[in-house]
Amino acid sequence: MARVREDVWGVRLGKITKPSVFPGGDSWQDFLSRVGTTLDRLAVRFEGQTVVAVSHSAFIMASILVIFAIPRPGTGARLDPAYTSLTEWRVSGARWQLVCYNNAGYVLRPNLYSVTAACDLA
């Protein structure tokens, strides 16, 4: 599976192995730029509010690269968020904090978690 994912996405945490994510689509750098712009816009537009965004794993991986300013090409390390997992960011001004990453406990053990508190209880 990991090899298939790398072939499809052409990326490995910032290492570009193909010029675009999909033929005729964005380059990885263009995608990272769009992710950064989206995060900035959400932070400004909904300042002081809670935003819930449903996304695919590439956006989650890209948000980590962008917010932590991880240089490209990266180290070759991989992030593979689980399906339906929760990742929580908090932002205050220009300071972002990764509160939790890849928490799927509420799915695996639903009696122990509520969806709204899954990251807080991890």
pLDDT tens per residue, range 64-92: 999 999 887 767 777 888 888 889 999 99
Torsion angles phi and psi, residue 31, rounded to 5: -65, -45
- CA angle (67 as vertex; 52, 48 as ends), nearest 5: 40
- Per the structure, the complete domain to which residue 87 belongs is given by 2-121
Report the predicted TM-score, pTM, of the whole model to 2 decimal places.
0.69
Is residue 96 helix, strand or coil? strand
Q: What is the pLDDT of residue 33?
A: 92
Domains identified in the chain, total number: 1
Contacts of 15-21 with C-beta under 8 Å, sequence gap 24+, read 15/72, 15/73, 15/74, 15/76, 16/72, 16/73, 21/58
Q: Is the pLDDT of residue 22 over 50?
A: yes
What is the maximal distance between C-alpha atoms in the chain? 45
Instruction: Give the mean model confidence (pLDDT) for residues 42-69.
Output: 90
